[in-house]
Homo-oligomer: A and B are copies of this chain.
Amino acid sequence: MLSSLSPQKLGLLGLGLLLLIGSSEGVPQPKAAWMRGARARLAKNSKWNSKSYVNGSACVETSPPDFQAPKENVWDGLTNWEAASVTQWLFAQADLNLTRSDDAGDWDNSVLLVELMMPNKSDVLPYVDGNATAPTRYAHVVLDLRATDSPTYSDILVGPLPVTNGTTTWQPLEYPYTRKTGGSIRNLDADSDIIMTDFIYPITANISDITMDLWGGAAMGADNDTLDVWGIDPVWQYDNKLTRWDTFWNKNTDVFDAETLLPLGLFLKTDVTGRDPANWTFEGWLYNDIFYPTTADFRKAYWSGNFTKLGANVEGDWARTDQQGPVPPMDTASPPSAIAPSGARYSVDQARKYVEWMDFSFYIGFTRDTGLALYDIRHKGQRIIYELKLQEALAHYAGNDPVQSGTAYLDSYYGFGPYSFQLVPGYDCPSYATFVNTSFFVSETTHTHINSVCLFEFDADYLMQSHTNSAYTAKTKNIYFTVRAVADVGNYSYLFSYIFYQDGSIKVEVRASGYIQAAYYANNQDYGYHIHDSLSGSMHDHVLNWKVDFDILGTANTMELTTNVPVTQNYVWSDHPRNTMKLQRSFVETEDDGKIFYTDNGRTQYSIINADKPNKYGEYRGYRILPADGTIHLTIENSSNLIDAANWAKYDIAVTKQKDTEPRSAHPYNGQDVYDPVINFDKFFDGESLLQELGMHHIPHTGDLPNTVFTTAHSGVHFMPLNYYAGDISRQTVNMIRINYDNGTVSEVETFGQQEALCEVDLAKEEFDPFSYTGDVVIRKFPYDPNDPYFETDSII
């Protein structure tokens, strides 16, 4: 076990490398152009920095001023040097017995992750709010320890950084987890490759007579197989055994990721407990809801002459996303689009990933597990939210077959960071957006997603404010600001938007597109619609969990509930008791009250207030949490798949006290031991910070073919100021108009000093060149090779 190693001893072992790494002298310097620009705006999008379009009547896109964040971004990952030095240091620790990922076999230890350890809030606040120095930096390292009969994933801390002679050590990372096993959890994946090649494929190859007959293909484990085999996630962990259920899928035959639409309806059960292949056992076949305990039984039945053969799901245009069908009238003409005639009206410190837009400011963070996050969100200089971060996304399926029934993806296991791909200007974000790169560590390399976060202002298609009477009309535009990333975790595409409004409100929005994971259609009418020849739109719940650490006028906050209740009431002024309504106000006072289900008819307002800081009228200043666009919790109660691995999914809102030891509600390896996960959220609960769910029930129908669409598969939550300012703070914008008129004559037009863009916009200059799309850029960290970047993008499918 890793926890038996001595941190002190390992620290000493690291010594030899320190001078080499800690200094920039004698270390290769990056020279590639993309690398020097990685934290700056890319060339294509750098036009706001020039004034070259200032001629004639062309619109002048002014440059934001030179701009620097007030503090360092303490949440923005390791520097390239830090990541390289920590990696080198790790490989110098002989007791870790590490092998480079490319060379590692099933019985070798390797490094899975080198990332910044998110600093404790208690260490950060004296820095961002005061004059303290920045918190000491540590690397969070995940080791894949497989050189043992009991393989583990082990989280350790390496630091302090920079790596220096004698002071840098490692220690097990346990304090942020409810499971107290020295930061280690069993690794169920240690033999995943050999299980396929040496165990599963021989079983599936053995029935190639049947698969050829049914589907014209075989699953031999060969490159030219037309069939794929995979199944449940996480594996069954009943009775201390590890049980797999796998099924056959037709592979897609071209670039389109249609495979999850092509299940074939034959399932196999195996017991893969332990590391000794001799103990792995085949346990049976399932087809058309009939279970065959042995291959002989199945083959005998199959060739018996009265076996019911069901259809196959075969790729076709129905499963491809390209244009098809008659083009709607006038659709080939260019549609409306958005432009920014004055350029960016916000400031971005690309080096520190710090943004100011109107009265808002925030820092951007990015991690492997959950991708984009925002920190220290302030309005008018006053922090509203310390941390706004996705914690986990669950996609829990159900079905009459064991694969759909057994599937409960906890997507941080795969990671949102690795799959937050390059965005396409003019599509994912307006062509005038500012783009930011993001990076993650894998296999001793740093992968950089070019232009993977975008920032843009947008003119909503509806106003912020409007009022008209016979004497005047007053209108205020609703210009908002969005931070966006899109993560394709396998078949699904998650679009995450953080939206800031001039009324001081902030919205978190998630939309889902991409390929559904469909079920084979057989006897499962109760689990989904029949959507194609042999296809069922397998019902599933998406539940996503965000941590929202509110700091309303300080860190001591309270959740207030304000509920509309019908009452029958007597009044001094009425002879009759009256049926009317009232407000019922209360605070969330205990842990148990913190497990919140939305009340019916939306009758309760949830707000985070500072009970010590009432406004001049005695009302608490706060922010209201307004569920938008259909938020849900998990339908399933006490899921047999999840046990304690995703207890956050049970509630709509969970309120817990902020503690440095409880920074996250979920851990990517929770699925490795669902009975004793790394973080069991139910073990939290004291009363102050807030975790907020989003989600959607999804019963796919034909309209989900070939892809689910973002329009209706979405969920959101809106945080709006509640009695926070003396009035509507959007009155500060000049993007309004007032027209006074009478009997057809306008007497006054007031536009409040706003500039009018009466100029020409050259759309050709806005156009993104799709041939410039590159995907990810990779730099090797061990050995460190910054001068040899290469392009390589990895995806799950």
Contacts and interface: CB of A to CB of B under 8 A. Distances in A.
Interface stretch (A112-120, A511-519, A544-552): A511-519
Contacts of A759: 762-764
A402 interface: yes
Contacts of A572: 286, 289-291
Interface string A333-371: 111111111110111000000001011000000000000
Contact of A739 (B733, B770, B777): B770
A325 interface: yes
A158 interface: no
Contacts of A773: 473, 739, 741, 746
A182 interface: no
A628 B630 CA distance: 6
Given A758-B764, A791-B743, A331 B709 contact: no
Interface in A711-736: 711-712, 718, 720-736
24 contacts: A62-B333, A284-B573, A324-B732, A331-B358, A332-B734, A334-B342, A467-B514, A473-B773, A478-B711, A503-B703, A526-B583, A527-B583, A581-B635, A581-B636, A598-B600, A615-B702, A627-B630, A703-B722, A703-B724, A706-B727, A757-B763, A758-B763, A761-B761, A761-B763
Interface in A739-797: 739-741, 743-746, 749-764, 767, 770-775, 777, 790-797
B337 A774 contact: no
Contacts of A697: 564, 602-603, 605
A772 B708 CA distance: 45
Contacts of A626: 630, 712
Nearest to A493: B466
Interface residues of A, number: 220
Contacts of A62: 333
A5 to B, nearest CB: 37
Lowest 3 CB-CB distances: which A-B pairs, in order? A744-B791, A334-B757, A469-B795
Contact of A732 (B269, B327, B725): B327
A539 B564 contact: yes
A494 to B, nearest CB: 9
Contacts of A336: 338-341, 430, 432, 456-459, 479
A785 B381 CA distance: 62
A761 B326 CA distance: 30
A64 interface: yes
Interface in A427-475: 427-428, 430, 432, 456-459, 461-475
A659 to B, nearest CB: 29
A175 interface: no
A495 B427 contact: no
A513 B335 contact: no
A329 interface: yes
B341 A334 contact: yes
A572 to B, nearest CB: 5
A486 interface: yes
A470 B774 contact: no
Nearest to A750: B322
Contact of A428 (B475, B493, B633): B475
A284 B358 CA distance: 52
A405 interface: yes
A477 B321 CA distance: 13
A707 B475 contact: no
B703 A727 contact: yes
A652 B603 CA distance: 13
Please indicate which of the listed interface residues A333, A401, A574 has the most CB atoms of chain B within 10 Å of its own CB.
Answer: A333
A53 B587 CA distance: 62
Nearest to A707: B465
Given A601-B652, A702-B728, A746-B771, 19 more contacts: A57-B762, A289-B572, A318-B726, A321-B738, A328-B358, A328-B502, A422-B473, A424-B737, A462-B511, A468-B486, A501-B711, A527-B582, A528-B583, A579-B637, A579-B638, A702-B725, A706-B728, A741-B793, A746-B770
A255 B471 contact: yes
Interface stretch (A74-82, A83-91, A529-537): A529-537
Contacts of A751: 770
Contacts of A723: 529, 531, 701-703
A187 interface: no
Contact of A402 (B321, B505, B573, B734): B573
Nearest to A340: B336
A755 to B, nearest CB: 5
A639 interface: yes
Contacts of A28: none
Nearest to A584: B526
Please indicate which of the listed interface residues A347, A562, A708, A727 has the most CB atoms of chain B within 10 Å of its own CB.
Answer: A727
Nearest to A267: B573
Contact of A790 (B605, B702, B743): B743
Given A712-B720, A758-B763, A702 B731 contact: no
Contacts of A321: 465, 467, 474, 476, 731, 736, 738
A573 B291 contact: yes
A714 to B, nearest CB: 9
A62 B461 CA distance: 23
A360 to B, nearest CB: 9
Contacts of A575: 238
Interface in A250-285: 255-257, 267, 269, 284
Contact of A707 (B333, B467, B793): B467
Given A459-B336, A514-B466, A712 B718 contact: yes
A1 B420 CA distance: 73
Contact of A632 (B526, B601, B721, B749): B601
